[in-house]
Amino acid sequence: REQQAADGYDPDAGRGCPHARFVLDPATPSLHADNDRLRAAGPLVPVTAEGVPAWAATRYATLLTVLTHPKLSRDIRHWATRDTCPAGTAIDRIVTDTSMLNAEGDDHRRLRTPVAGAFTARRLQQLRPKIEALTDRLVDALAELPPDEPVDLRKEFAYPLPREVISELIGIPAEHQDALHELSDAVAQVSDTLDDSPDVRRALHELLDRIIEERRDTPGEDLITDLFRLREKDGDRLSSDELFATIELLFIAGHVTTVNLITNAIGALLNRPDQLELLRTGQCDYSAAVEETLRWDSPIAYFPMRYAVQDIEIDGVRLRAGEPVLACFAASGRDPGQFGENADRFDITNPPNAHLAFGHGPHFCLGAPLARIEAEIALKALFEAFPEIAPAARPEDLAPLDTLLGNSTRSMPVLLGP
Ligand code: HEM
């Protein structure tokens, strides 16, 4: 505390709403610079995120503690100022309260276990040829475009692939996919032009409900069918609300994050021809590029809050019961304390790294193996199909997403070449 005071850092600043020391604002596109400042300021730093006062955990070691701390809960009912702070902020209301992401302990296990079955190695191996076929189709469509006109690879490549994969896994019929994705993109703030109003949320709920009901009558090889079967076998293990929340969570968590990963990897590699060459000549594996992107340019910037269930102290900072802590995944990936003095350099020859981009502990991302497979297949197919591919804009000219949650650019213009 004395050291913090000497640094001009007041851990009590920003406890009340809304006088925080740092304002995290999606309108100021300086994520990595902000994170450098936050990491330097202390292990837990008071911020306001979309008007919500919280403690930001930006250092790797502190984030690891936060993600596994027994007295920090994802259960939103522990949030003391829940009623006095701006409602409907995306940072913590993105998924329905009854989903596994917001549950702890026995409830969390009950909600997570049945879904974990969908991500077994066997299921993923079954999905692999489908992912490859989808990727090939997208690459073929790109090859039909004029080679000397810029193409936005976020829109034409990174976006559709995970969208179709997650729809297949969950069991979303083709005729509902467009409408469902439009609504969930709005809720997940994939683009700032989309509307995240209560009406949009309601429409998303109605459509998902309809799809789930239809699936009950026409079972298939998919997650909705699995969850229905489980309910029949095991009584009321999952309530209707919880089943809905599970599907919604997978649908949102499984899409935009992977779009960001693929977009960020393309950007990092296109602007570093030496690194791309290592992949093309087989000196490095595409999985190394995926892991390095996850560390260096995490698809999630700031996500979910955890709430102190009692007064606690973490790395010398005292938290009061009910105060929220924000996990800063992108910041932890560039922490020199963990990744050395070159932490801010993208280098796929780095040894395998223990990044936290998929979280850690009980809420560790269920879709991590799927996201990894998708990104690997996508990058390999793209860079093999277009040997002359080149960026069509400088990285500093690309607008970032207008959200605290996602870390990516709104577009990825490239020239595909002959
Ligand atoms: C949880 C990141 C892709 C499903 C999480 C968490 C992170 C994360 C950081 C943990 C949050 C916490 O500890 O509070 C990512 C990233 C992805 C990705 C960076 C892509 C690059 C996916 C995919 C799916 C998925 C493809 C599903 C198909 C989930 C689910 C949870 C989760 C269900 C909640 C787990 C729980 O609460 O027990 N993800 N995710 N994610 N992710 Fe992912």
- For a substitution probing ligand 1, which of 94, 250, 257 has the most ligand atoms within 8 Å of its CB? 257
Q: How far is the CA of 115 from the centre of ligand 1 (A)?
A: 12
Please write down the HEC assignment for all residues of the chain.
Answer: CHHHHHCCCCCCCCCCCCCCCEEECCCCCCHHHHHHHHHHHCCEEEEEECCEEEEEECCHHHHHHHHHCCCEECCHHHCCCCCCCCCCCHHHHCCCCCCHHHCCHHHHHHHHHHHHHHHCHHHHHHHHHHHHHHHHHHHHHHHCCCCCCCEEHHHHHHCHHHHHHHHHHHCCCHHHHHHHHHHHHHHHCCCCCCCCCHHHHHHHHHHHHHHHHHHHHCCCCCHHHHHHHHHHHCCCCCCHHHHHHHHHHHHHHCCHHHHHHHHHHHHHHHCCHHHHHHHHCCCCCHHHHHHHHHHHCCCECEEEEEEECCCEEECCEEECCCCEEEEEHHHHHCCHHHHCCCCCCCCCCCCCCCCCCCCCHHHCCCCHHHHHHHHHHHHHHHHHHCCCCEECCCHHHCCECCCCCECCECCCEEECCC
Higher-scoring residue by pLDDT: 27, 42: 42
Render pLDDT for 5-38 as a digit per residue (tens, 0 to 9).
444 444 454 444 333 467 777 666 678 888 888 8
Greater model confidence, 260 or 78 = 260
How do residues 200-219 score in pLDDT, each as one tens digit?
778 888 888 888 888 888 88
Is the per-residue pLDDT at 364 higher than 90? yes
| ipTM of this complex | 0.98
Nearest CA to ligand 1 atom 41: 367
Q: Is the pTM of this model over 0.80?
A: yes
**Cα 327 to averaged position of ligand 1 atoms, centre (Å):** 13
pLDDT tier, 197 (very low <50, low <70, confident <90, very high otherwise): low
Instruction: Please report the pLDDT score of residue 413 as a whole number.
Output: 97
pLDDT tens by residue, 314-352? 999 999 998 889 999 999 999 999 999 999 999 999 888
What percentage of the chain reaches a pLDDT higher than 70? 86
User: What is the per-residue pLDDT across 390-411, written as a single tens digit (0 to 9) for each?
Assistant: 999 999 999 988 788 889 999 9
pLDDT at position 222? 85
Res. 227: pLDDT tops 60? yes
Q: What pLDDT is recorded for position 10?
A: 47
Please give the mean pLDDT across all residues of the chain: 85
Centroid of ligand 1 to alpha carbon of 316 (angstroms)? 29
Residue 338: the pLDDT is 96
Residue with the smallest CA separation from ligand 1 atom 35 is 363
Residue closest by Cα to atom 38 of ligand 1: 363
pLDDT in tens, 263-290: 999 999 999 999 999 999 999 999 999 9
Pocket around ligand 1 at a 6 A CB cut-off: 67, 100-101, 112, 166, 249-250, 253-254, 257-258, 261, 299-300, 304, 329, 357-359, 363, 365-367, 370-371
What is the structure's pLDDT at 27? Answer: 64
